[in-house]
A and B are shown apart, each in its own frame.
Chain A
C-alpha cells in the first residue's frame, strides 16, 4: 500500500523535476539571446566598464565629454555642466541617461553606423571601436543661455526652424556629472546629495518638466483657428469689449480678463488681441474652433504624445505635453466648454514641456512646417587628440519636417507675433524680447509672452516663445522657448532673456 503510494509520488516528483528543468531551458536557450542584448545586462555593463568611450564635441569642435581608462575602468569627464541635461551621464554605478544612453552602442563601438561593416565586425568578432559624436549645439550659445537663467530654475530651448537643429537646450538647475561618472566607489555620495536636493537638479526640465503654458498657448490657438477657418485676421467678437470688463459667461462660469493695466478695451481683431493677450478674445476663438478640431490640431503640433529629439531609435526622450487631462497617455476629451475656453489661453488642464513650445514657435517660423528636431549632428571615428577627426561616418538631420498649418496661416500668425513684440500695444508686454535692444540693428523679433497662473499664492511661471529674424522676407534662424519656474510675469522675466539669447545667436551665426 505505502509502496504503491511511494511509486506514485515518484511520478509526481519526476514531473516536477521536468518542469524545473524546462524553466532552466527557457532562460538558458530560448531567452538567452534576447537577454544578451539588453542594456542593463551586467555583461554589457561590464564590457562598458573597461571599454574606451567616444568623445562628444559641441558644434564648434570643443570637447564636452571624454573618457580615459584608469586601472581597467573607463571614467568619464564632463567639461561643462550646462550640457548635463543634454548629454546625460555615463555612470558605472547608476547607468546612462541622455545622449550617453541613446548613443550608447555607437559611443562604445558595439555598433558600426555602417550596417555592412557592422556585420563584418560581428562575424570577425572585432574589438569594438569607440566613435565620437558632434552636437548641433554651439557651446557659446548654450553657456550664454545658461548664464541668462542665472541661478533660477527654468529652461531654454532654441531650434533652427529651417533644419530642426537644436541650438540650445538648457535645464536649470544643473549639476556636474563627472563625480557620478568617474570613480564608481565615490559616486554614491554625490548622487545621494543630488537626489535629496529640493531644487531637483536631476530633472531635465526642458524635456521632462511639465508646466502650465499660459498665454504662449494663444499662438497655437491663433494658428489653429486661422488654419481651420474658424477666424480670419479680421474677425472680431462684438461683445468682447464689454466682456473684458464684466466677464465672458461660458456655461454659467464667468471667464475674467487678466489685468489690462491702463489699456482701454476695444473691438480687437487678432493682432491687437494677441498684443494685449486678451483672454476673452481667445476664449471666443477656442469655442469657435470646437473641441474636436482643437484636439486634432494639438496632435498635429506634437502635443498629446511623447516626442523625440533625434531619430526614433536614438532620440532624446521628451515627455508628452497635454491640452486636456491625459487618458492612457493621450489627451482626453474636454469636459466642457469652460475647459476648452480656458485651454485656448493656456490655462485649464494644459501642461507642456519647453521643448514642445519651442517646436510650436519653430513651426510658425518655418512657414507652417514643424522641423524634425535633432541634437547629434554626426558620428565620427574616434579622435585621440581632443579635436574631431575628419572621418564622418554618419550624419543626422536630413531636414524635412511635418506640415502642420498652411503657409498662409503661418504668415498671418507670424505677422501677429511680430506685432506682439513690436506693436504699439505689444511693446508694453513683449517689447523686451526685441533683438534691436541687444545690438542687432537690422532684425525684428516675433513672439508671445506667457504668465501662467498656478492658483493660490504661488508666483506664476514666466514664459516667452518666439523667433528671429521675423521681418518680412527674412528667414528665421532661431526659434526659442524660455521658461522661468515661478519667475513672475512673462514680460519682465522670460522676454528679455529670450531677446538676448536670440540676439546672441544672430551675432554668433553671422560671424561663423
Chain B
C-alpha cells in the first residue's frame, strides 16, 4: 500500500472546514449579542473528523473520488451549523453517562458514520460479498422490515422506530441500502435478458415479466409493508430508486413510464382508500385552508421561506421560536432546509442544492466509470437514492410535492439517517477506488 496524495480533496476541504467554525462564530454573536467565540468544541470536532477521514484515505492509498468527501463536508457543515443554532433540547442523548444536546449528538453520529464509511471505503476490496449473496441481503432487508412491523413504535403516525436501549434506530434507513444492493445484484445478472427480450403492447414495450418476477415480488412486498407502516416518503423514495436503477440497467424509458403510470394509479387508489393520504394531499393543495391545524407546518414553512428572501435573515436571526414553541415543528428533521433558507436565504438554499448536485454528479460519474455492471448499478442506485431523497424532502418543504417525513441526507438531525448516508458514501468510494479513477482526476 502506498500513499496517495489526494490534493484536490485537501484543497476543497480546506475552505469548507474553515467556514464551519466561522458559522459557529457568527451564530454565537447573533444569539448572544457579544463579540465572543462561544463554545467551539463542536466546530473543532467536526473539522477534526474530516481531517482524520482525509488522512486515513491518504494513508491507505485510496484512489477513490476526491470531490465526494468535500461535498459531504459542505452539506454536513451547513447542517451542523444550523443544528447548533436551533434550540439544543429538541433532541439529544443521555446515553453512556453523557448528556449531549442536539448538535453534539449529531456530531457523535457523524463520528460513528465516518468510521463505518472509512471501514467500507478502505476495507471493501471485493464486492463479491455484496453481489453473490444478494438474496441473503434481501432476506436481511425483509427481516429488518418484519422487526419494524413487530417491534417498532410510532412517531407521528408512522411506525419506523425500534428501541435498542440507549438508542432508537430506523431500520428503514438500512433497508434502503440493502434493497439497492439486492436490485443491483439482480439487475446485473439479468440485464441482458431484460434488454434483449421484447414484448410490445401498442407503443409501449413492456418488460418480459418472467425475468422480472422474483424482483417484482420482493419489491412489491417491501412497498406494501412500507405503505402499511405509513411511511409514504420512504415508499416514494424506494419506488423512485427502483425505477431509476431499472432505467440505468435497461435504458428503456418505457419501463419508467409504465412505473410512473402504476405509481399514479396506486397513488389514486391510496387517495381514495386512505384518509391520511387524502388529508395529506388536501393539505398540500391548500395548506391555508386550515393554517392552525393540518396546514400548520407547511404554512409556517412557506412563511419562513418568504422571510428568508434572497439574502436570508442571517445566522441566528431567523424566527425559530414563537412564544416558547417552535415556529415550525420538526424544523431539525423534516424542515431543516426551510430553516437554512430562512437564515441563509435563497443563496444559501442554492449553495445547499449545489453541493447536493455535486455529490449526485460525482456519484453518477463513479457509476459511469465503474469496472463492472454490478458496481455501476450499485453506484447509480446509491446516488439516485441520495439525490431523490434530497429532491423529495426539499420539494416537500417548498410545496412542490406533498410533504413526506424523510430526512435531508447529511443535513437533517438523525443518527440512522447519518450513518446510512455515510455507508452509502463508503460504498461509492469503494467502487470508485476499484475503478482507480482518482489519479487522473487529481492530475487534471
B308 CB-CB contact with A under 8 Å: yes
Q: Which of B7-15, B64-72, B167-175, B247-255 contacts A (4 or more CB under 8 A)?
A: B247-255
Counting CB contacts under 8 A, is A492 at the interface?
A: no
- Chain A residues within an 8 Å CB radius of B251: 1, 4-5, 8
Given contacts A14-B357, A23-B398, contact A9 B244 (CB under 8 A): yes
B interface, over-half SS: helix
| Chain B: minimal CB distance from A41 (Å) | 5
Given that A2-B367, A6-B364 are contacting pairs, would A43 and B248 also be in contact in the complex, using a CB cutoff of 8 Å? no
Q: Known: A9-B364, A43-B319. Is A2-B303 also a contact (CB below 8 A)?
A: no
For residue B349, which residues in chain A have a CB less than 8 angstroms away from its CB? 21, 24, 28
* A45 interface residue per 8 A CB criterion: yes
Most buried by B among A2, A5, A26: A2
In B281-301, the 8 Å CB interface with A consists of 291-292, 299-300
Contact A6 B395 (CB under 8 A): no
Partner of B319, one of A5, A31, A46: A46
Interface status of A29 (Cβ within 8 A of chain B): yes
> Shortest CB–CB separation between residue B271 and chain A, in angstroms?
22
A46 touches B322 (CB 8 A): yes
Is B269 located at the chain interface by the 8 A CB criterion? no
- In the assembled complex, the Cα of A193 lies from the Cα of B341 at a distance in Å of 39
Q: Which residues from chain A contact B353 at a C-beta distance below 8 Å?
A: 17, 20-21, 24
How many angstroms between the C-alpha atoms of A13 and B247 in the bound complex?
A: 13
Q: Does A49 contact B (CB under 8 A)?
A: yes
State whether the Cβ of A32 lies closer than 8 Å to any Cβ in chain B.
Answer: yes
Interface bits B383-397 vs A (CB < 8 Å: 1, else 0): 010010001001100
Q: Which residues of chain B come closer than 8 Å to A4, judged between CB atoms?
A: 251
- Inside 8 A of B307's CB, which chain A residues have their CB? 32, 35-36, 43
Tally of contact residues, B, Cβ under 8 A: 50
Which residues 249-279 of A sit at the B interface, judged by CB distance below 8 A?
Answer: none
Contacts of B319 in A (CB 8 A): 42-43, 46
Do A3 and B376 touch across chains, with their CB atoms under 8 A apart?
yes
**A23/B399 contact (C-beta < 8 A), A3-B368, A43-B303, A46-B319 known:** yes
B183 to chain A, nearest CB (A): 14
The reply on B305 being an interface residue by CB < 8 A is yes
Cβ-defined contact, A26 with B368, below 8 A: no
Which B residues lie within 8 Å of A92 (CB)? Answer: 323
Q: In the assembly, what is the distance between CA of A41 and CA of B224, in Å? A: 39
Does B341 contact A28, Cβ atoms closer than 8 Å? yes
Q: Which residues of chain B are near A26, meaning CB under 8 Å?
A: 398
Q: What residues of B have a CB within 8 angstroms of the CB of A35 in the complex?
A: 302-303, 306-307
- B300 touches which one: A5, A10, A27, A42 (CB < 8 A)? A42
By beta carbon, the residue of chain A nearest B307 is A43
B301-323 Cβ-contact flags toward A at 8 Å (1 or 0): 01101111110000000010011
Given the contacts A5-B247, A10-B364, A29-B309, A20 and B394 also touching, CB distance less than 8 Å: yes
Scan A18-61; emit 1 where CB is below 8 A from any B CB, else 0. 01110111111101100110101111011001000000000000
Looking at the assembled complex, report how far the CB atom of B333 sits from the nearest CB atom of chain A, in whole angstroms: 19
> Is there an interface contact between A10 and B361, defined as CB atoms closer than 8 Å?
yes
Per-residue CB proximity of A85-121 to B under 8 Å, as 1/0? 0000000110100000000000000000000000000
Complex Cα distance A29/B350, Å?
13
| B-contacting residues, A450-472, CB 8 Å | none
Contacts A9-B380, A16-B391 given; indicate if A29 touches B346 (C-beta within 8 A). yes
The A interface is mostly helix, strand or loop, or mixed, namely helix
List the B side residues contacting A19 at CB < 8 Å: 395, 400
CB closest residue in chain B, given A17: B357
Is B439 an interface position by the 8 A CB rule? no
Q: Which residues of A contact B418 (CB under 8 A)?
A: none
- Contact residues, A278-322 vs B (CB, 8 A): none
- Distance in angstroms between the alpha carbons of A17 and B247 in the assembled complex: 19
B423 located at the interface, meaning its Cβ lies under 8 Å from any Cβ of chain A in the complex: no
| Alpha-carbon gap, A7 to B248, bound state (A) | 9
Assess whether A6 is in contact with B387, with CB atoms less than 8 Å apart: no
Q: By CB atoms of chain B within 10 A, which of A5, A20, A28, A93 has the most?
A: A28
Query: Closest CB-CB distance, A181 to chain B, in whole Å?
Result: 13
Report the separation of the CA atoms of residues A17 and B398 in the bound assembly, to the nearest whole angstrom.
Answer: 13
B88 at interface by CB-CB < 8 Å: no
Are A28 and B303 neighbours in the complex by a CB distance under 8 Å?
Answer: no
Question: Is there an interface contact between B303 and A41, defined as CB atoms closer than 8 Å?
Answer: yes
Question: Which of the listed residues B299, B345, B364, B398 has the most CB atoms from chain A within 10 Å of its own CB?
Answer: B398
Q: A9-B248, A9-B380 are in contact. Are A42 and B391 (CB under 8 A)?
A: no
Verify A28–B368 contact, CB threshold 8 A.
no
**Chain B residues, CB < 8 A from A41:** 303, 306
Q: Is A423's beta carbon under 8 Å from chain B?
A: no
CB-nearest residue of chain B to A185? B324
Known: A9-B380, A9-B384. A28 touches B394 (CB 8 A): no
Decide yes or no whether B360 CB sits under 8 A from chain A.
yes
Q: Is B437 an interface residue (CB 8 A)?
A: no
Which residue of the partner chain A has the closest CB to B308? A28
Give the nearest-CB partner of A49 in chain B.
B323
* Contact assessment for A6 and B248 in the assembled complex, using a CB-CB cutoff below 8 Å: yes
Evaluate contact between B306 and A27: CB separation under 8 angstroms: yes
Q: Mark B242-283, 1 if CB is under 8 A from A, else 0.
A: 001001111100000000000000000000000000000000
The 8 Å CB contact of B400, one of A1, A20, A73, A184, is: A20
Distance between A125 CB and nearest chain B CB, rounded to angstroms: 16
Residues B323 and A184 in contact, CB atoms below 8 Å apart: yes
B120 interface residue (CB < 8 Å to A): no
Cα A3 to Cα B303 in complex, Å, equals: 42
Q: Tell me the nearest residue of chain B to A1, going by C-beta.
A: B251
**B377 at the A/B interface (Cβ < 8 Å)?**
yes
B393 CB, nearest partner CB in chain A, Å? 10
B205 part of interface (Cβ distance < 8 Å): no
A52 to chain B minimum Cβ distance, whole angstroms, is 17
B322/A45 in contact, CB under 8 A: yes
Output the nearest chain A residue to B361 by Cβ-Cβ distance: A10
Per the bound structure, the CA–CA distance linking A507 and B260 in Å amounts to: 78
Cα-based distance from A5 to B395 in the complex (angstroms): 25
Give chain A nearest CB distance to B387 CB in angstroms: 5
Whether A20 lies near B306 (C-beta < 8 A) is no
Q: A2-B249, A2-B373, A14-B357 are in contact. Are A27 and B323 (CB under 8 A)?
A: no
Mark B341-370 against chain A: 1 for CB-CB distance below 8 A, else 0: 100011001100100110011001001111
Alpha-carbon separation in the docked complex, A384 to B275 (Å): 54
Contact partner, B306, options A1, A9, A13, A36, Cβ 8 Å? A36
- Alpha-carbon separation in the docked complex, A17 to B373 (Å): 27
Q: A20 with B322: in contact, given A2-B377, A27-B398, A32-B309 (CB under 8 Å)?
A: no
| A-B pairs with beta carbons under 8 Å apart, 29 shown | A2-B367, A2-B376, A4-B251, A5-B247, A5-B248, A5-B250, A9-B248, A9-B380, A9-B384, A10-B360, A13-B387, A13-B391, A17-B391, A19-B400, A21-B349, A23-B399, A24-B394, A27-B399, A28-B341, A32-B309, A35-B307, A36-B306, A40-B292, A42-B300, A42-B327, A43-B319, A49-B322, A92-B323, A93-B323
Closest 8 CB pairs of A and B: A35-B306, A27-B305, A23-B398, A23-B400, A3-B368, A28-B346, A32-B306, A6-B368
The chain B residues found within 8 Å of chain A, CB to CB, are: 244, 247-251, 291-292, 299-300, 302-303, 305-310, 319, 322-324, 327, 341, 345-346, 349-350, 353, 356-357, 360-361, 364, 367-370, 373, 376-377, 380, 384, 387, 391, 394-395, 398-400
12 more A-B contacts (CB under 8 A) besides A6-B368, A29-B309, A32-B305?
Answer: A5-B248, A6-B364, A6-B380, A10-B361, A16-B387, A20-B395, A24-B349, A24-B398, A29-B346, A31-B306, A40-B292, A49-B323
